[in-house]
Amino acid sequence: MDTMRDRLAPVVTRLLDEDPRVAAVLAEIGADGFTEARRRHPDRVVNVGIREQLLVGAAAGMALTGLRPVVHTFASFLVERPFEQVKLDLGHQGVGAVLVSASASFDWPAGGYTHMAPGDVALLDTLDGWTVHVPGHPDEAETLLRHAVAAGDDKVYVRLSTQSNAHGLPVDGERFRTVREGRRGTVVAVGPVLDAVLDATEGLDATVLYATTVRPFDAAGLRRATEAAGTDVVLVEPYLAGTSTAAANDALAEVPHRVLGLGVGRAELRRYGTADEHVAAHGLDARSLRARIGGFLGAGGALPPRA
Amino acid sequence: MTITGEDTRTYGYTDLPALMGLMTGDEKHGPAATSTLDVLWVLYDRVLRVGPERMDDPGRDRFLLSKGHGPMAYYAVLAAKGFLPVAWLPGFGSYDSPLGHHPDRVLVPGAEIGSGSLGHGLPIAVGTALGLRAQGLHEPRVWTLVGDAELDEGSNHEAIAFAGPAGLEALHTVVVDNASASYARPGGIAARFEAAGWSARTVDGRDHDALYDAFTAPHPGRPHVVVARVEPKNA
């Protein structure tokens, strides 16, 4: 299967062909994929070199002239390194852009912590007005990229990962999707953790919601799910644990509720290896999730043997 | 000239101290405020093709005040040119005033960007030049004003290093040099830009004709910087 990021250049190339407002802004990372697009649209495909502050600042300047910039590099260099540019050059100026990251929380564990950004969504949460898409499959990534570019002048973050579910689901760029219904709790699975969550909750009488757009948080969708499933909520996120806990608490502010936030641990793991090993180390594999979700929902029991 | 509100006066350079006095309460101003005064006046009076009636015109020149500290001279010039009412000036910095100690583009008519944090204007100006070029708008020129100490910000070095090789002819930077950087730039400020492929002029920042000549010097295929020297901040 191709990766979500494999879809980026082809999708954006088509959008560059279709819409004269669209521009791609790069800082070397991923520039090879845009060679043909750059030939066709030399002024709308810009590679600023290894200059991430300029990457975001220049995108903001382009947006001020009316363009719709799509800005891409690894999450560490897109959100964390030029964070003040994201805050001021986009937010404070009142212009938008589509930031598309790659590498996610630990897509390249052998590359170490310098290329990990589990805090990216939490960091954007300190700012106002960002839409955040976290696709769980390349097909979903393609759809959400199109939604992001089409979203007027909104500020949109699309978080691409090499981690993926086996199958894509229809996504609408707004709401959580109910993939399983139960009565003893609600589990919200964000993007690429869905398969592990479905394995982990097999045989549990729990509702599973699938979230590929986490900001704005689908508070109404969560409330609706809890009407039948009760107000015990587990969030399973592929980035920093607890990133959406406040959003879930706000959604359920009017009713007694409990929220457990699972995700990537805050402590630096300081290990290389594979993504699967990091998934396990952060307790995000199906067996660990089963224990933690089952324990929290009081619906324990060992994970049934896999067929 | 379009005049905002009921004020139908025409203002000139000699009115600027009085306009600034409306903000500060007297006619003595800090170096940060007055260092930019002549540069701003010559740009708005003789160089920039902008006006209150053109703020939605894609073909207008863009002026991005990167050095948002001490914006009284900027507000005075904008008021003199009719972008904002003179009546706003006395409220400077108050809760209900659109005029803060750093300008906000959302609140200040005529302000292309909000600034205050150093090192943002030039990168945004690069993007503005790129965006205009991508839309076939080759007439409008993009100007940004930075301070000499502001050039210390790495974001400016990213922008300087990119804009030269990218041949951004529409891009113009004016560096108001009041010798406020802690460490002098080896070879001088203009050399930094020239090494990156910019056209550069260094002039007396109080000499209006010299500023005008430097601002309007041809620079085919290259971005252009004017280093405007004014009296040292701590002199």
Token representation of residue A169: 């689901």
Confidence category of residue B233, pLDDT binned at 50, 70, 90? confident
Chain A contact set for B127 (CB, 8 A): 25, 57-65, 69
d(CA B109, CA B55) in angstroms, rounded, equals 8
* Residues in chain A closer than 8 A to B158 (CB atoms): 48, 51, 53-54
Q: CATH: 1.10.3210.10, 3.40.50.2020, 3.40.50.920, 3.40.50.1000. Which one for A177-300?
A: 3.40.50.920
Contact B114 A57 (CB under 8 A): no
Neighbour count for residue A166 (Cβ, 10 Å): 9
DSSP string, B185-208: PTT-HHHHHHHTT-EEEEEETT-H
CA distance B230 to chain A (A): 28
Q: Which residues face B143 on adjacent strands?
A: B63, B172
**Res. B1: pLDDT tops 90:** no
Residue in B104, B123, B131 closest to A53 by CB: B123
Could you give the residue ranges of the DSSP H alpha helices within chain A? 4-18, 35-40, 52-64, 75, 83-85, 120-124, 138-150, 194-200, 219-229, 245-251, 275-281, 286-297
Measured between alpha carbons, how far is A287 from A303 in angstroms, rounded to an integer? 7
ipTM entry: 0.94
CB A50 within 8 A of CB B141: no
- A131, A154 contact by CB (below 8 A): yes
Chain B residues with CB within 8 Å of chain A CB: 58, 104-106, 112-114, 117, 119-120, 122-135, 137, 154-155, 158-159, 161-162
Residue B2 has pLDDT above 50, yes or no: no
Query: Residue B127 is nearest to which of A43, A62, A88, comparing CB atoms?
Result: A62
Distance from chain centroid for Cα B80: 15
β-strand partners of A240: A264
pLDDT at res. B30: 64
Structural domains in chain B, CATH included, are 19-229 (3.40.50.970)
The pLDDT value recorded for residue A306 is 47
**Could you tell me if A43 lies within 8 Å of chain B, comparing CB atoms?**
yes
Percentage of chain B lying above the pLDDT 70 cut: 93
What is the percent of chain A with per-residue pLDDT over 70, rounded to a whole number?
97
Instruction: List, run by run, the mean pLDDT of 10-residue segments along chain A (307 residues).
Output: 96 98 98 98 98 98 98 98 98 98 96 97 98 98 98 98 98 98 98 98 97 98 97 98 98 98 97 97 98 88 48
Cβ distance of A61 and B123 shorter than 8 Å: yes
Please state the separation of Cα A34 from the chain's center in Å.
Answer: 23
Mean pLDDT of chain B: 94
H-run or E-run covering B31? helix B31-34
Task: Find out whether B70 and B32 touch, Cβ atoms under 8 Å.
Answer: yes
Its CATH class, for the domain covering A4-159, is alpha beta
Q: Do residues A281 and A255 make contact, with C-beta atoms less than 8 angstroms apart?
A: no
pLDDT, position B27:
57
Are B134 and A67 within 8 A, CB to CB? yes
Residue B70 near residue B103 (C-beta atoms within 8 A): no
Higher pLDDT, B30 or B196: B196
Whether the per-residue pLDDT at B25 is higher than 80: the answer is no
Q: Please judge whether B134 and A44 are an interchain contact, meaning their C-beta atoms are less than 8 angstroms apart.
A: yes
**Number of helical H runs and strand E runs in chain B:** 8, 5
Q: For strand A177-180 and strand A207-211, is the pairing parallel, antiparallel, or unpaired?
A: antiparallel
Choose among B105, B155, B161: nearest Cβ to A57: B155
What tokens appear for A176 in the block?
Answer: 């959580």
- Across the range B8-16, mean pLDDT stands at 91
| Cβ-defined contact of A64 to B154 (cutoff 8 Å) | no
- Cα-flanking dihedrals φ and ψ of residue B24, to 5°? -100, -10
What pLDDT does residue A301 have?
A: 46
Whether pLDDT at B151 is above 90: yes
Residue A213: how many other CB atoms lie within 10 Å: 26
Nearest to A61 among B105, B117, B130 (CB): B130
Give the lowest-confidence range in A200-204, B102-106, B165-169, B183-187.
Answer: B183-187
For residue A21, give how far its alpha carbon lies from the nearest alpha carbon of chain B (Å).
8
What values do phi and psi take at B134, rounded to 5? -65, -20
Q: Is pLDDT of B35 > 80?
A: yes
Query: ∠ CA A136-A215-A168 to the nearest 5 degrees?
Result: 20
| Inter-chain touch A93–B105, beta carbons under 8 Å | yes
